[in-house]
A and B are shown apart, each in its own frame.
Chain A
Amino acid sequence: MSILVNKDTKVIVQGFTGGEGTFHSEQCMAYGTNIVGGVTPNKGGQTHLGKPVFNTVKEAVEATGATVSMVFVPPAFVADAVMEAADAGIELAVIITEGAPVKDMMYAKMYATKKGMKTIGPNCPGIITAEECKIGIMPGNIFKKGPVGLISKSGTLTYEGANQVVQEGLGISTAVGIGGDPIIGLSYKQLLPMFEEDPETKAIVMIGEIGGDLEIQAAKFIKENITKPVVAFIAGQTAPKGKRMGHAGAIVSGSAGTAAEKMAALEAAGVKVVKTPAEIGKAVKEVLS
């Protein structure tokens, strides 16, 4: 078991034939992901990486029965691509693209929600169910199968956290990189209950950062609904106020969105909060023993 995706999930790639799309689709296929085709307008009918290319998502879904789309479309066109996926009945769009205008994602997410399509990202490493299905750009080899679910705003902290968990002799069920933009798709609050219900997952790692209040919402949710142990790290304890730290959403505005307030809220919810990502692995081991 796992959440959202597994070895049977049928995946199409929007932006399949581009440089990024090609490189990462190959890697995903090598990992075992069931990529059934791709979409690139005006390249319909061609074959790429041994899979059919379609002009539209609608055609791709009809022909392949895909339910998930991995999106590598450039930032200026990514909202259009996401809305197309929603319109075509895709159930989950994993949006890797970095640098999408916030306004575009606001509309795209509203439309996706209306159509019942879940989204992950943008500006994220994607989702991986260890040793089954990788939909994204993470280095697959570090994700060994095991009992730990992981949710992270940051790509490299996902790798850092997963690697430590594996070093401790444990492993990952599913890891989701939710992205660091101001507007993102699935977040802690939607993913936590999925891990709570997943029998394979025994503990959850949540990695957050400064900016916004998703971690605060998560803390409230955990307190009321989550029985499995949760380990959390919030990046940016040493970040100055009012400065954007790499991610578009990673900014302390006024006195809101600090690491300190998020850490306090999580601690109050019974979460084991670590002060450095270097202690994630150890902490997981501890809560599981």
Chain B
Amino acid sequence: MNVHEYQAKQIFAEYGVPTPRGLVANTVEEAVENAKKLGGNLWVVKAQIHAGGRGLGGGVKLAKSIEEVEKLAGEILGMTLVTHQTGPEGKLVQKIYIEEGADIQDEFYLGIVLDRAKEMPVIMASTEGGMEIEKVAEETPEKIVKVAVDPTIGLQGFHGRELVFGLGITDKQEQRKFIDFASKLFKIYMDKDVELIEINPLIRTGSGDFLALDGKMGFDDSALYRHPDIEAMRDISEEDPDEREAGQYGLSYVSLDGEIGCMVNGAGLAMGTMDTINFVGGTPANFLDVGGKANAETVAKGFEIILRNPKVKSIFVNIFGGIVRCDRIANGILEATKKVDVKVPVVVRLDGTNAAEAAEILKNANIENVIPATDLLDGAKKAVAAAKGEL
């Protein structure tokens, strides 16, 4: 689960990680009020969406007067912001963050993620703040300082020294402040079951202080049960409604651009099915893993969600029954055809546990649109042919 910048900064503040002062607003009036409350003579109006690259997309603007705050708030609230992370369709801005303008001397990058090879968190820091870190990693990897931290000892002095020397921070006061910043951030990472923290940019001000100017955080979904404070930050308007609804039924769904709807058990086979459709010249419309507890209701829900996508021209149901029993899936297909108007051809391949019973169920039901397939390749080919109207 991801949160907004303003929420990440609330967590930072809780742990004493320095950030500029700021207040979130849902309306232009609130924005103006917030700017007045903050005082000063320089504000930043920042679109709050779950995507980076807002600055370049026109979602982060400086204001030098209250009137300008008002004008910019009016422009940014309600705009559809397109960044390199939103996709071409962009994201609707429903909240903005009014923040005091900071005195930027240098921009750094600081992030913490799991290093999957080392199996421990790694702190990544760079002097190339403000740039996309992937770009830095590709073009000038030597400019990224990586320090893996064994959580059983936590962030020690030497880790901190590796960071500041690696970044070329030479002033002793500044070194102390930076290390303090990094250790607080590491504590957040561990305490809150964070999957990713990224501060880009982390700035050094004219007076030698370090401030988090941006804040991006993602959390381990499997650990949210023990963080009700984080769960409360969920903004469902940022989530894909189909993916969300699928999740409530134990389905894992991701929509794609193609024409062939997929319903599969198991994430690996679901990806393998998409790849096979591609291999035989078709395009998958979605990833859908019905999971290990699939039943008639969840299968029907799966059909409903797949069919909401107007691009879908055929559906490939590919089940290799293990714990999932094929007869249950077959009944699910029957159920679905009663509940949902399945107007496209459905190619069905059911193998493994109770496959024979399942075949019998489908045969007896004799549903018009259902085309049986013998194996994965046969199914993929038939689904592609059916999408072209050749079956």
Binding site for B on A (CB under 8 A): 75-76, 98-104, 106-107, 109-110, 125, 137-139, 142, 152-157, 159-160, 163, 180, 182-183, 207, 209-210, 212-214, 217, 233, 235-240, 242-250, 254-255, 259, 275-279
Q: In the complex, which residues of chain A have a beta carbon less than 8 angstroms from the beta carbon of B120? A: 106
Q: Could you give, for residues 151-191 of chain B, a 1 whenever the CB lies within 8 Å of some chain A CB and a 0 otherwise?
A: 11000000000000000000000000000000000000010
Q: Tell whether A102 pairs with B271 under 8 Å between CB atoms, given A159-B322, A277-B276.
A: no
Contact B271 A236 (CB under 8 A): yes
Bound CA span A284–B321, Å: 23
CB 8 Å contact bits of B211-249 with A (1 = contact, 0 = none)? 000000000111101100000000000000000000000
The residue in chain A whose Cβ has the minimal distance to the Cβ of B152 is: A110
Q: Is the CB of A276 within 8 A of B276?
A: yes
B150, B272, B276: most-surrounded residue (chain A CB, <10 A): B272
Interface centre among B223, B266, B267, B380, by most chain A C-beta atoms within 10 angstroms, is: B267
Across the A-B interface, the 4 shortest Cβ-Cβ residue pairs:
A154-B268, A246-B267, A156-B266, A156-B269
* Min distance, Cβ B379 to any Cβ of chain A, angstroms: 9
Least CB distance, A166 to chain B, in whole angstroms: 12
Chain B residues contacting A250 (CB-CB under 8 Å) are 267, 271
Interface size on B, residues (CB 8 A): 55
- A102 and B376 in contact, given A163-B351, A246-B270, A276-B275 (Cβ under 8 angstroms): no
What is the interface of chain A mostly: helix, strand, loop, or mixed? loop
Contact A255–B278 (Cβ < 8 Å): no
Q: Does B102 contact A (CB under 8 A)?
A: no
Cα separation A276 to B276 with both chains bound (whole Å) = 5
Query: Which residue of B is nearest A142, CB measured?
Result: B352
Provide a sorted-by-A list of 25 A–B residue pairs whose CB atoms are within 8 angstroms.
A76-B226, A98-B292, A101-B220, A101-B222, A102-B195, A102-B223, A110-B119, A137-B292, A137-B323, A152-B268, A154-B268, A154-B271, A155-B266, A159-B322, A160-B272, A182-B114, A209-B268, A212-B117, A235-B268, A235-B269, A239-B274, A243-B254, A255-B134, A276-B272, A277-B269
Given contacts A155-B266, A160-B269, A255-B134, contact A278 B380 (CB under 8 A): yes
Q: Given the complex of chains A and B, what is the CA–CA distance between A255 and B132 in angstroms?
A: 12
* Total CB contacts across the A-B interface at under 8 A: 169
B297 interface residue (CB < 8 Å to A): no
Judge whether B320 is part of the interface by a CB distance below 8 angstroms: yes
The distance in angstroms between the C-alpha atoms of A259 and B266, with both chains bound, is 18
Please give the distance in Å from A256's CB to the nearest CB on chain B. 9
* Nearest CB on B from A163, distance (A): 7
Closest Cβ of chain B: how far from A7's Cβ, in Å? Answer: 22
Interface residues of chain B, those whose CB is within 8 Å of chain A, are 85, 114, 116-117, 119-120, 133-134, 137-138, 150-152, 190, 193, 195, 220-223, 225-226, 252, 254, 256, 264-272, 274-279, 284, 287, 289, 292, 320-323, 351-353, 375-377, 380
Q: Which residue of B lies closest to A125 (CB)?
A: B322
Question: A247 vs B271: C-alpha distance in the bound complex, in angstroms?
Answer: 11
Tell me how far the C-beta of A62 lies from the nearest C-beta in chain B, rounded to whole angstroms. Answer: 29
**Cα distance A242–B85 in the bound complex, in angstroms:** 9
Task: Contact check, A137 vs B225: say whether CB atoms are below 8 A apart.
Answer: no
13 extra A-B contacts, CB within 8 A, seeds A101-B220, A239-B274, A278-B376: A99-B222, A125-B322, A159-B352, A160-B269, A236-B271, A238-B275, A238-B284, A239-B271, A244-B254, A245-B267, A246-B289, A254-B137, A255-B138
A156 contacts B265, C-beta separation under 8 Å: yes
User: Are the C-beta atoms of A159 and B320 separated by less than 8 Å?
Assistant: yes
Please determine whether B320 and A245 come into contact, CB atoms closer than 8 angstroms. no
Residues of B within 8 A of A243 (CB): 254
- Closest residue to B117 on the A side, CB-wise? A213
Chain A proximity of B377: nearest CB distance (Å): 4
Return A176 CB to nearest CB of chain B, in Å.
14
Tell me whether B222 and A248 are in contact (CB under 8 A): yes
Chain A CB within 10 Å, residue with most, of B85, B117, B150, B266: B266
- A180/B222 contact (C-beta < 8 A), A102-B114, A276-B279 known: no
Chain B residues with Cβ below 8 Å from A182 are 114, 116
Bound together, the chains give a CA A44 to CA B133 distance in angstroms of 54
Provide the bound-state CA to CA distance between A9 and B85, in Å.
51
Q: Do A103 and B193 have beta carbons less than 8 Å apart?
A: yes
Assembled-state Cα–Cα distance A213/B119 (Å): 12
- Nearest neighbor of A106 in chain B, beta-carbon distance: B119
- Option from A101, A154, A155 in Cβ contact (under 8 Å) with B193: A101
Chain A residues, CB < 8 A from B292: 98, 137
Please determine whether A139 and B322 come into contact, CB atoms closer than 8 angstroms: yes
Q: Which of B120, B133, B222 gathers most chain A CB within 10 Å?
A: B222
**B352 surroundings in chain A (CB, below 8 A):** 139, 142, 159, 163
Q: Is the CB of A155 within 8 A of B271?
A: no
Cβ B271 vs Cβ A156 within 8 A: no
